[in-house]
Structure 1
Amino acid sequence: MTKDKIDRDNSKFIYQQICDIILNKIKNREYKKGKLIPSERELSNELEVSRYTIRKAIEELVHQGYLYRVQGTGTFVYDTQGEKENKKNNSKQIGVIMPYTDGVNIEILNGIENALDGSDYTFILKDHFNDYKKEAEIIQFMKSQMVDGLIINPAEDQKDSTAIYDLKSEKFPFVLVDRKLQFCHTSCVMADNINGSYEATEYLIQLGHENIMFLKGHYSNTSTIEDRITGYKRALREYGIEANDVFTYDEQQSRDKINEQIYNHIEKNNITGVICVNDIIVIDLIKMSRKYEIKIPEELSVVSFDYTDKIKHLEIKLTTVNQHSDIIGKKSVNLLLEYIEENNQEKEIQQIYQSCDLEIRDSCKSLD
């Protein structure tokens, strides 16, 4: 067998030549569909190129749908024929892809499980840890497992990813949950974050607060966050409050730095009310209040989204916006099964907004 070589005088990038070599081996059945290909180290030694270049080529082929990765095992050739055979066998399985399996996502999963209970369908769960590259790999893995459809809570940063757009182009049944994507108009089920945030802000205004801060992390940039900011600003505007204060901090800093940044901003701007974008952010706020001995609600009123297990056991019972994540999970299943059972991903796109409720507890105080 002739050894494959990289032509360094070729106008093609080296990683593109590697892609061609791998594709030829798939075509010639040296790399068999559904089977493991050599490791990055083995390919690096064979082709006499860096592992970084091998990795780039593999990532490109994963993105194109020729390969998929399984964490801790390796890289496999995507088996489209196996998928066709499985469709004949009617697997009745859906894939669920989440950023993390905690907090709100646990509630969504509970809803998914309840909706599938008693049906013929089961589900496979994978986490992408907010990494769009990992998400793309999982999508290919799920398809290799011949799932009938996907429910996806997408990674935050999608600017360099086409994995979800490709699903739409392929007419593969899928539904997004919790957040939508600006570049890809598709079916999704999410909370009515604009009205939920509006109601939270309105509540603080009616308690006499005008210096109200919206607190978010630097790494929180999704349609969900944008909608919550929109609702906050709309309430201030409609009540004639000109100032709006969206404060963003780097949540990956040290605890002391986080405490200092939040405290200084509150003191400098005479903030009396805070809306926290989620449970993670409100925990940072509570930790800051402990350090600087700020009393809630006597000195600072606080509203947060998501009454999850993380915050249910805090010393203060927080007023929260309840987005009914379990219902979101149930509705996502119902919508996906419509697409699967009718075999019609081209039916009208549906964007379902689940109404939110403001649960008033003990973390807000009237200024009157």
Structure 2
Amino acid sequence: MDVQPKYKTLKNYVLKHIQDGTYKTKETIPSENELCKLFDTSRVTVRKAIDELVHENYLYRVQGVGTFVQDFSYHKQDTTNRVDLIFHDNNFLFSEFNSNIILGVEKVLSQAGLNIATYYSMNNADSQYDKINNAINEGAKAIILCGCLEEEKNTKLKEFVNCPIPIVCIDRYFETLPFDAVIGEDFDAGYEAGKTFIEHGCNNIGYYYPYSIESSVTKGRLNGLLQSMKDNDIVINENLVISHTNTKKENVYDYNAISNNIHNYLLNNKDLQGILVFNDITALLFYKEAARLGIRIPEDIELISFGNFYIDSIFEVGLTSFNQHVDKMGEEAAKIIINRLINKDDRRKIVKIKYELVRRKSC
């Protein structure tokens, strides 16, 4: 039987005392030192529990004074026209991706008199589900879910199929779950990348996905790439196709581990001529490890990525990358929500956004 982490036990303790009125609105909760003694634990554990309750709007801090219980009467009024936007991460390398989605969502929702509240689950699936429950319990109008840290067969999102408010997924598609979704034309992009490599004379073409958790996104891109190779009678080398790695779930963004994996991939596949990678971050790591091995891009290996974000400016040769138009994803997700709230349309909606290949010197 799984043992609940101590921070979670502490968090639930504080939350219970807020809900039963022991800790009253606008009054301080016990200090960090008092909670450390009560639970015989470290300040790190206490802060983790309190941080989550602050992010979930149960508590707020006053610098140099203490931590207070949120005024829920005000909070409930504030949620009347609220849509919760929940990201799986706030990693600084994803900041441009996230901010563009926010801009797109806000542009549409503001015209309908709706506000957005943005939350980050920080790579923690349990935190993601807590935030979904909070949105439901606090009276939010709808939820936009950007990213999911679980594969479809294992996801706990199944628990929300009868959610009383609309849930729209961005950049993920769950075939067996009824949620609306806004996704990219990943298959078409993978196909275009393969066609581009082949036009440049590449025969040994690879795909690299740096994480262990597969998704509809990477499956679409890989399938498109493979189909373009089949259509052009290019032999598929299975050693070049990396659809998942052994990156641990809790360290899904361990860039040192990913770099080591890429390094070994390049060492073991010296016949590689063209590589399609999952995102610009992965491309940067490829560029770094190739340079360490004396491999030139694009002279030795051509490189195509996804994102077309600020990170492209780091590359000396310029990174060929798909612009995913994530601001449009945000806009379409907001439109789906408005349609559901106003027209009560209960038909599942899947919107696909076309990517644009921005050609630079890496391919």
TM-score range, shorter chain: 0.7 to 0.9
The alignment partner of 2:209 has SS state of strand
Aligned to 1:257: 260
Provide runs of 4+ in structure 1 moved above 4 Å: 21-46, 67-77, 158-161, 248-252
| Cα shift readout 1:88-145 (whole Å, capped 9, x = no counterpart) | x983221111122514222222212322344412211111123211111222333454
Report how many residues are paired. Answer: 328
The alignment partner of 1:303 has SS state of strand
Aligned to 1:179: 172
Aligned to 1:332: 333
| Cα shift readout 1:306-339 (whole Å, capped 9, x = no counterpart) | 1011123321222222221111111111111111
| Cα shift readout 1:264-298 (whole Å, capped 9, x = no counterpart) | 1331xx00101011111101111012212322111
- Alignment pair present for 1:352 and 2:347: no
- Alignment pair present for 1:91 and 2:80: yes
- Kindly provide the amino acid, as one letter, of the partner of residue 264 in structure 1: L
The alignment partner of 1:169 has SS state of coil
Aligned to 1:216: 209
CA distance in 2: counterparts of 1:24 and 1:358, whole angstroms? 51
CA distance in 2: counterparts of 1:230 and 1:35, whole angstroms? 56
| Cα shift readout 1:52-81 (whole Å, capped 9, x = no counterpart) | xxx9xxx9xx9xxxx99769899999x8x9
- Kindly provide the amino acid, as one letter, of the partner of residue 181 in structure 1: F
Aligned to 1:8: none
TM-aligned CA deviation for residue 214 of structure 1:
0.4
TM-aligned CA deviation for residue 263 of structure 1:
2.3
* Aligned residues of 1:189 and 1:354 also touching (Cα < 8 A): yes
- Kindly provide the amino acid, as one letter, of the partner of residue 246 in structure 1: V
Q: 1:33 to 1:24 in 2, by over 3 A?
A: same
- Kindly provide the amino acid, as one letter, of the partner of residue 91 in structure 1: T
- Kindly provide the amino acid, as one letter, of the partner of residue 182 in structure 2: V
* Aligned residues of 1:319 and 1:359 also touching (Cα < 8 A): yes
CA distance in 1: counterparts of 2:276 and 2:141, whole angstroms? 40
Aligned to 1:7: none
TM-aligned CA deviation for residue 171 of structure 1:
2.5
TM-aligned CA deviation for residue 305 of structure 1:
1.1
* Aligned residues of 1:97 and 1:152 also touching (Cα < 8 A): yes
The alignment partner of 1:102 has SS state of helix
* Aligned residues of 2:280 and 2:308 also touching (Cα < 8 A): yes
Q: 1:28 to 1:102 in 2, by over 3 A?
A: closer
CA distance in 2: counterparts of 1:335 and 1:186, whole angstroms? 11
The alignment partner of 2:84 has SS state of strand
The alignment partner of 2:321 has SS state of strand
The alignment partner of 1:227 has SS state of helix
Unaligned 5+ runs, structure 1:
1-12
Q: 1:38 to 1:336 in 2, by over 3 A?
A: farther
Among 201, 226, 233, the alignment partner of 1:233 is 226
- Alignment pair present for 1:136 and 2:125: no
Aligned to 1:299: 300
Unaligned 5+ runs, structure 2:
248-253
Identity %: 18
TM normalised by structure 1 equals 0.73
* Aligned residues of 2:210 and 2:258 also touching (Cα < 8 A): no
Please give the root-mean-square deviation of Cα atoms over the aligned residues, in Å: 4.0
The alignment partner of 2:201 has SS state of coil
- Kindly provide the amino acid, as one letter, of the partner of residue 261 in structure 1: N
The alignment partner of 1:94 has SS state of strand
The alignment partner of 2:269 has SS state of helix
TM-aligned CA deviation for residue 169 of structure 1:
0.9
Q: 1:301 to 1:76 in 2, by over 3 A?
A: same
CA distance in 1: counterparts of 2:19 and 2:308, whole angstroms? 52
TM normalised by structure 2 equals 0.74
* Aligned residues of 1:193 and 1:227 also touching (Cα < 8 A): yes
TM-aligned CA deviation for residue 236 of structure 1:
1.8
* Aligned residues of 1:306 and 1:323 also touching (Cα < 8 A): yes
* Aligned residues of 2:60 and 2:69 also touching (Cα < 8 A): no
* Aligned residues of 2:303 and 2:320 also touching (Cα < 8 A): yes
- Alignment pair present for 1:313 and 2:307: no
